[in-house]
Structure 1
Amino acid sequence: MERLASFSSFTDDPFDKPPCRGCSSYLTEPYIKCAECGPPPFLLCLQCFTRGFEYKKHHNNHTYEIMTSNFPVLDPTWTALEEMALLEAVMDCGFGNWQDVANQMSTKTKEECEKHYMKHFINNPLFASTLLSLKQAEENQLTDTAIPFCSTEEPPRPTFDSLLSRDMAGYMPARADFIEEFDNYAEWDLRDIDFVEDDSDLLHALKIAVVDIYHSRLKERQRRKKIIRDHGLINLRKFQILERRYPKEVQDLYEAMRHFARILGPMEHDKFIESNACAKTYDRLKKTREEERLKRTMLSEVLQYIQDSSACQQWLSRQADIDSGLNPTMPVMSNSGRRNAPPLNLTGLPGTEKLNEKEKELCQVVRLVPGAYLEYKAALVNECHKQGGLRLAQARALIKIDVNKTRKIYDFLIREEYITKA
């Protein structure tokens, strides 16, 4: 399948392209690019392509693209290569020097260059609307992701040696610089260094090391300036006014996390602080989930005794003692004088579909809802895997329900080889 494509660089200089993989000659347009091999791109000249050159994983039946810039873009009489050459010539010679632009292009006259450039690049409403939309999109993005503590506005220009000038750490907005730099005397170490031809190798290396040290101190100076500008710390008074609008805990969080500003950009720093502020929300939701889980466990216990009024009354008394802070001493048990309760009907109970036939029979006999059984089973199996075995006393400590039911569940899991005895 043939496809006509344009090379990423419209220049016709063969030295800007990789050589042909077949004959290693410099490529000239048009040439062939394999659409299935790469990266790096697999390029062939027309001669190697016509003789079906193959190399390693490349086969001559692969799909390919014809790479050329000999096609019109904005004007039928101008090729893409000439469009790029015109833009490069204007950048090199300057806008308005059309004679020099034409001389550099060598394929168009002075009048043709001026007319084409003014028509398609200056007075073209499509380009103007595109640039305007891109600018508006960029402004909207900056507005949407604005950080309350980071201000990139132009700082005020106070009078020299005023109170506001001292608050701004001696920042000079007109020069975008500070009166006193960080590491202000770093240049002093270079004032006596002079490279001469008769320096020994050791002395020359020593001078180079001093210059490298100075260069690292300049990098640190620029890094600190960038932090101050990016995070809006130049106008200290405005920063403090913004800071006072937030609650005390948020101010404390920003103060504690301010040390990380030197390793994070303004956007990343604000997201980092927001993620820490969300930790309290996570803890609150986790506590709510735990309370809901305890309620579900309590409901499972209630369902066990719901059809035995005596056992239900005892269970309610025990829960009342627990809520009042007392230690319940009376165990909850069914009335032994009554006949055994009928098997539990599992129809419609959540979790029934997850049980096999033997587990369903166990839940019916023990009168245990499937959801509670699955929780007890998972707890016993996990503990058995941790300990390498499980005793009945350990099972009773894990699932605090009726001891007879615990024994039946324990024996069933042993018999079905879900767990093993210690």
Structure 2
Amino acid sequence: MERLASFSNDPFDKPPCRGCSSYLTEPYVKCAECGPPPFLLCLQCFTRGFEYKKHQSDHTYEIMTSDFPVLDPNWTAQEEMALLEAVMDCGFGNWQDVANQMCTKSKEECEKHYMKHFINNPLFASTLLNLKQAEEAQHNETAIPFHPADDPPRPTFDSLLSRDMAGYMPARADFVEEFDNYAEWDLRDIDFVEDDSDILHALKIAVVDIYHSRLKERQRRKKIIRDHGLINLRKFQILERRYPKEVQDLYETMRRFARILGPVEHDKFIESHALEFELRREIKRLQEYRAAGITNFCSARTYDHLKKTRAEERLKRTMLSEVLQYIQDSSACQQWLSRQADIDSGLSPTVPVPSNSGRRSAPPLNLTGLPGTEKLNEKEKELCQMVRLVPGAYLEYKAALVNECNKQGGLRLAQARALIKIDVNKTRKIYDFLIREGYITKA
């Protein structure tokens, strides 16, 4: 194609004759010893033996003409160039217009020749493919694609995934809103005029330099996003979860240094740490086998099975002891039943219920400003503080128990619990307090 390009039919595309300065028309002569630039002569100056500076009339020369076949014996190089220019001007498929512009070939001849030698020709097909790949590579260097081997998702506008992608537009390989999106506002009113003083001119130059630095920062951030594949945040998070918990913590800590290490070095560091973690865990497991006297992997499988069985039995015994310990506490029993239901359904058990002996007592309730506090005596205030019961609720419970005791001539604890639908421990403390203070009597 470069050779064909040198034989353009337009004389304005070539330098003039060095002898008479006229526009060259084919055929003309090119000196094979002088140049660059090429030393070109028309046929008239060549026959006169024109000499200029280092060029002598006895130098070797070349006859420059496009009247020779290239791809087809019936098509000259000049006609090949004319066909390509006509297709470029008229568009692919407009063969009648192409033939009219060429004037030397018919519509059928133009279509057949172009399809045979420029579309279905394996040599030209591979060349066009290489050109396309080179163009895509150049585009990848300037644009910000999702990942070299991935096609970014194309969510609907203003969707949750679109917000996670920070407004990234895959079709344009760019963002809806740039980093430092209003950086151009500082330049909108700047105008360089001849009447500016030196200080004002230097100030405007400084503003332009600041704008350039902000553009560099914008491109730097885009490069980090491109190199590390951070457009699809959900996919990035899924890749993180394949590591153990300890490696995930390291991943989170080292993320701020990823832009310094680079994507390849950062991934190598994380992968090497994950491999180290796996090796340490495997070494610890082998040391446990050795301490148990196991010398082969067949015995190790049996050991792991028995260890798992023992752990399950130990968990069952622990749960049974919890039942016996909390059988008198309805809330603790409810928590234990919920935990047992989770285990039976295959879910991870909830946090075990702490024992009464290890339960941390809640601080006393502050009655300051609570309604009904002024109606209580000191002992009743102390009871409400320790039981953590608001004065209004205590007065209602007291009135209900006193009325029921007067009707029945006495009151049992079970009856008190039926009247007051609160924690059984709080009901017992209120019942004992009212008995002790003489407000009610036992049945």
User: What is the CA distance between 1:86 and its match in structure 2?
Assistant: 0.9
1:35–1:62 CA contact under 8 A, matched in 2:
yes
Secondary structure of 2:4's partner?
A: strand
How far off is 1:151 after superposition? 3.1
- Greater mean alpha carbon deviation, residues 21-30 or residues 166-175: 166-175
Verify: 1:323 aligned to 2:323, yes or no: no
Contact 2:146/2:232 (<8 A) preserved: no
Q: CA deviation at 1:362?
A: 111
Aligned equivalents of 1:61, 1:410: Cα separation in 2: 132
Of 224-233 and 384-393, the range deviating more from structure 2 = 384-393
Q: What is the Cα-based RMSD across aligned positions, in Å?
A: 29.8
Match of 1:377 in 2: 398
- Indicate if the aligned counterparts of 1:52 and 1:60 stay in contact, CA closer than 8 A: yes
**C-alpha distance in 2 between matches for 1:388 and 1:38:** 130
Task: Say if 1:412 and 1:250 are closer, same or farther in 2 by CA, change over 3 A.
Answer: same
Taking every aligned residue pair, what percent have the same amino acid on both sides? 91
Match 2:308 to one of 284, 287, 291: 287
Give the Cα–Cα distance (whole angstroms) in 1 for the partners of residues 222 and 413 of structure 2. 68
The Cα offsets for residues 35-71 of structure 1, whole Å up to 9 and x where unpaired, read as 2222211111122222222222222222222211111
- The answer as to whether partners of 2:417 and 2:427 remain within 8 angstroms in 1 is yes
Judge which range, 388-397 or 154-163, deviates more: 388-397
Contact 1:101–1:113 at 8 Å: present in 2 too?
yes
Check whether the contact 2:145–2:173 (CA below 8 A) recurs between aligned residues: no
> 1:174-229: per-residue Cα shift (whole Å, max 9, x none)?
44331321232246568899999999999999999999998997798568646744
- Farther off after superposition, 166-175 or 312-321: 312-321
* Greater mean alpha carbon deviation, residues 338-347 or residues 146-155: 338-347
Deviation for aligned residue 1:80: 0.9
Task: Provide, for residues 109-163 of structure 1, a one-character-per-residue CA deviation record: whole Å limited to 9, x for no partner.
Answer: 3233223223332344554466568889999999999999973532233566667
Instruction: Please give the per-residue CA displacement for 1:222-263, whole angstroms capped at 9, x wherever unaligned.
Output: 686467446645346666888999999999999999999999
8 Å contact from structure 1 (residues 300, 369) kept in 2:
no
Summarize the Cα distance change of 1:210–1:58 in structure 2 as closer, same or farther, 3 Å threshold. Answer: same
Compared with structure 1, are the counterparts of its residues 219 and 404 closer, same or farther at alpha carbon in structure 2 (3 Å cutoff)? Answer: closer
Counterpart Cα distance in 2 of 1:389 and 1:49? 141
Task: Return the match for 1:277 from 297, 322, 335.
Answer: 297
Contact 1:228–1:234, Cα closer than 8 Å, also in 2: yes
CA contact (8 A) 1:300 1:372 kept: no
For the pair shown, the structure with the greater C-alpha radius of gyration is 2
- Native 8 Å contact 2:144 2:173 kept in 1: no
Check whether the contact 1:380–1:395 (CA below 8 A) recurs between aligned residues.
Answer: yes
- Select between 114-123 and 69-78 the one with higher mean Cα deviation: 114-123
TM-score (norm 1): 0.44
- How far, CA to CA, are the matches of 2:181 and 2:77 in structure 1? 53
The 3 A distance-change label for structure 1 pair 191 and 298 is closer
Distance 1:359 1:262 in 2: 65
Deviations 1:286-336 (A, max 9, x none): 999999999999999999999999999999999999999999999999999
Distance change in 2, residues 1:102/1:299 (3 Å): farther
Q: Distance in 2 between matches of 1:107 and 1:231?
A: 57
Q: Tell me the secondary structure at the aligned position of residue 359 of structure 2.
A: coil
8 Å contact 1:363–1:370 — kept in the other structure?
yes
Q: What's the offset of the Cα at 1:168? A: 3.3
List alignment gaps of at least 5 residues for structure 2.
Answer: 273-295
The runs of 5 or more residues in structure 1 that have no matched partner are: none
CA contact (8 A) 2:367 2:373 kept: yes
Contact 1:32–1:45 under 8 Å retained in 2: yes
Quick check: 2:144–2:174 contact (8 Å CA) kept in 1? no
When residues 326 and 30 of structure 1 are mapped into structure 2, their CA distance, relative to the original with a 3 A threshold, is: same
> 104-113 vs 223-232, which deviates more?
223-232
In structure 2, what is the Cα distance between the partners aligned to 1:196 and 1:189?
17
Residue number in structure 2 paired with 1:192: 189
Relative to structure 1, the CA distance from residue 396 to residue 263 in structure 2 (aligned partners, 3 Å threshold; closer, same or farther) is: farther
The range that moved more, 276-285 or 235-244, is: 276-285
Assess if the C-alpha contact under 8 Å between 2:342 and 2:350 holds in 1: no
Q: Which moved more, 1:217-226 or 1:326-335?
A: 326-335
Q: Which has the higher contact order (CA 8 A, sep 6+)?
A: 1
2:145–2:226: 8 Å Cα contact kept in structure 1? no
TM-score, scaled to structure 2? 0.42
Residue in 2 aligned with 1:122?
Answer: 119
Residues 1:128 and 1:344: Cα distance change in structure 2 (over 3 Å): farther
Are the equivalent residues in 2 in contact too, given 1:23–1:48 (CA < 8 A)? yes
Structure 1 contact 33–44 (Cα < 8 Å) conserved:
yes
Q: CA deviation at 1:386?
A: 120
Q: Tell me how far apart the structure 2 counterparts of residues 235 and 92 of structure 1 sit (CA, whole Å).
A: 43
The number of equivalent residue pairs is 419
- Bigger drift between 197-206 and 351-360 goes to 351-360
Per-residue deviation, 1:17: 0.6
Q: Distance in 2 between matches of 1:357 and 1:347?
A: 13
Cα distance in 2 for partners of 1:17, 1:56 equals: 21
